[in-house]
Structure 1
Amino acid sequence: MEIRSILFPTDFSEPASRALDHALVLAHHFGTKLTLLHVETPYESDPANPRHEFPEPGELFTRFRGQSTDRLAGTEPPVRQEDIEIEEVVLRGISAAREILAYADENRVDMILMGTHGRGAIGHFILGSTTERVVHGALVPVLTIQHGEDRFVAKGGRYEKVLIPVDFSEASRKALEYGVEIAGRFGSELELVHVIEPVLAPQALFAGGASPVAIDPDIRQRSRTALADFAGDLLPERYEFLLKSGRPHHEIISTIRERNCDLLIIANQGWNALD
């Protein structure tokens, strides 16, 4: 796996500024080009403007440089401007998500990194309309950074624990490939989780609602064997394998909280979404 270019769409909001910390550090770690992209839409620029005109781009480039310079100064460990190739792009269109996806495709970027606008207890998994459209439409991995307390900066620009759900699909194998690479670059602990969904089988009727793991004592070992066959030589020497039973989205969220994970890498409709 090789990451040569990272696309960072920004609306200059506080969530975007926080997400830029991640983009700068990742670009530095991978030695990649970082493209800062802002999409100007007439309706978002000035809703009170009856002609819905686009603003001039000069001010936007000034804001780009201000945002990137401010965040570079605050990264830990420090990242210097000269250490990263940064490109600034302004596009104009009716749909920000459509322009982001088109740019990523036309310029063959390897990863998209975006902030989210979700708030509150459930906000961790609410992306915001533009980010959600990009996640579902992108043909490359998308790293989304939640809005709120940023442990990434507090931990010195490191992902200490990376979690990858595995369902033995081709998409989850691709997610595993990216996860192993990122964990290796940051020296992160790597945890893999496989969730078995309960089915109404005859033996379950007599087990008092026990989980498949409790009903079948050999399922854990069979899952480990299946993981080894599935992952091949992708797996590093050190990782932890977790086997859960229940609704996958509930168990994944629960695992993130219980294990205090910093980065979730999960397959999404045939490709990758990272959070």
Structure 2
Amino acid sequence: MNLEADLKTILVPVDFSPFSDLAVDYALHLAQAFDAQVRLLHAAVLFQEDASDQQRLQAYTQWVAEQEKKIFGQMSARKMLGISRGARIQTEVVRGVSAGNAILDYVESHPVDLVVMGSHGRTGLSHLLQGSVAEKIVRLAPVPVLTVHRSVKSFQLQRILVPIDFSVYCQRALEHAFCLCEKFEARITILHVVEQDVHPSVYAGDVHSVFEVDPALKKQIIDNMQAFVSDWGTESRVEEYVVLEGKAHKQIVDFAAANHMDLIVISTHGLSGLDYFLLGSTTEKVVRWAACPVLTVKRFESNF
């Protein structure tokens, strides 16, 4: 999918916490830039009831209906905010046995091109929420997902970090990053992390880095990075090429924080070819620990 041409509908799951309201703000900025529609979605989570206990089930169903009236009121307030900012915005409430499944079902059955969601919900337990909702959406949604961390104060998009591993799967991440750069006049930093361990046999020589073993390696990697990027975007937007050594997810998160990045754009599929294993070892950890928003891009996207 071409971001410029095909980003038509942005879905924002909301739970009325300050963190989901921040996601709404991000979605409104993107919608304005791309002339897209915003859909606010609240998943009313249902507890499993014994269908044979009709009296109990009827009372519970009535309680859910009353709660949904309150929900529609809260959704209307957010819709009016979007309209006041010139957005085309819709609101929907769906029922489901879990928020994650309800969101995924909606994405599968409606024309959604991007999901924007906060990474911290009503419970105040960010890691628990990420494990049960945000990380599930990142892993299973067939479209890109932008997660906005609770530490973000306001929308900002001037510096974008794109980690690459030279696989075909990070090409989409580059495409999306360059498109965002054009829309928001941002700058890109391209990062590659070398995870190659130094063999113990060299320790006697007090060598602890692969770059000490091969001093020319870093320049070779940067040359390859420049060649790789030039095939997929406007290189003039690249501010810096960076090569680091260590655990990929830690280096990505630490570099983004130290250099005040506004967004990380990362693919969910790397050299291994195993989506879930890569996601668990790198991308999902970046989503979990990065202080800035993270846009995760699928290797195969149904729309985006």
TM-score range, shorter chain: 0.7 to 0.9
User: Of 145, 165, 176, which residue of structure 2 is paired with 1:142?
Assistant: 145
1:64 is matched with 75
Q: Distance in 1 between matches of 2:205 and 2:261?
A: 33
What is the CA deviation profile of residues 205-248 of structure 1, one whole-angstrom value per residue up to 9, with x for unaligned ones?
Answer: 45524322232222223212322443314243131111000111
Q: Distance in 2 between matches of 1:233 and 1:165?
A: 14
Are 1:19 and 2:29 an aligned pair? no
SS in structure 1 at match of 2:47: helix
Asked if structure 2 preserves the Cα contact closer than 8 Å seen for 1:33 and 1:85, the reply is yes
1:247-262 matches, within 5 Å, as: 247-262=247-262
Q: Residue 217 of structure 1: SS of its match in structure 2? A: coil
RMSD: 2.8
Larger mean Cα displacement after TM superposition, 127-136 or 189-198: 127-136
After superposition, the C-alpha distances for 1:53-88 in whole angstroms (9 at most, x for unaligned) are 333443322211213434x4xxxxxx844x321111
Q: How does 1:69-84 map to 2 (within 5 A)?
A: 69-70=80-81, 72=82, 80-81=84-85, 83-84=86-87
Contact map agreement 2:42 2:93 (CA 8 A) in 1: yes
Question: Unpaired runs of 5+ in structure 2?
Answer: 49-55, 270-274, 288-293, 296-304
Distance apart, 1:186 and its partner CA: 1.1
Equivalent in 179, 182, 187 of residue 181 of structure 1: 179
State the alpha-carbon separation in 1 of the partners of residues 116 and 202 from structure 2.
Answer: 43
Q: Is the 8 A contact 1:124 1:146 kept in 2?
A: no
Give 1:111 deviation, angstroms.
0.8
- Pick from 36, 40, 44 the counterpart of residue 40 of structure 2: 36
Q: Report the AA paired with residue 268 of structure 2.
A: N
Q: Are 1:118 and 1:125, in contact at CA under 8 Å, matched by a contact in 2?
A: no
TM-score, length of structure 1 as denominator length: 0.82
User: Which runs of structure 2 are paired with 1:1-275 in the superposition (5 Å)?
Assistant: 1-2=2-3, 3-43=7-47, 51=57, 52-53=60-61, 54-56=64-66, 57-70=68-81, 72=82, 80-81=84-85, 83-117=86-120, 127-150=130-153, 153=154, 157-201=155-199, 204-205=202-203, 207-231=205-229, 232-239=231-238, 240-269=240-269, 270=275, 274=294
Contact 2:20/2:121 (<8 A) preserved: no
How far apart are residue 21 of structure 1 and its match? 0.9
Structure 1 range deviating more: 204-213 or 16-25: 204-213
CA contact (8 A) 1:164 1:191 kept: yes
Greater fraction of residues in helix: 2
In the alignment, structure 1 segments of 5+ residues that lack a partner are 45-49, 73-78
CA contact (8 A) 1:118 1:128 kept: no
CA shift, 1:172, in A, is 1.7
What is the one-letter code of the residue matched to 2:102? E
Q: How far is the alpha carbon of 1:149 from its aligned partner?
A: 4.4
Change in Cα spacing, 1:229 to 1:189, as seen in structure 2 (3 Å) is closer
Farther-moved stretch of structure 1 (128-137 vs 210-219): 210-219
Distance 1:5 1:204, change over 3 A: farther
Pair 1:260–1:126, CA change in 2 (3 A) = farther
- Separation (CA, whole Å) in 2 of partners of 1:170 and 1:178: 14
Rounded Cα–Cα distance in structure 1 between residues aligned with 2:203 and 2:131: 42
TM-score, with structure 2 as normaliser: 0.75
Identify the residue that residue 76 of structure 1 maps to in structure 2.
none
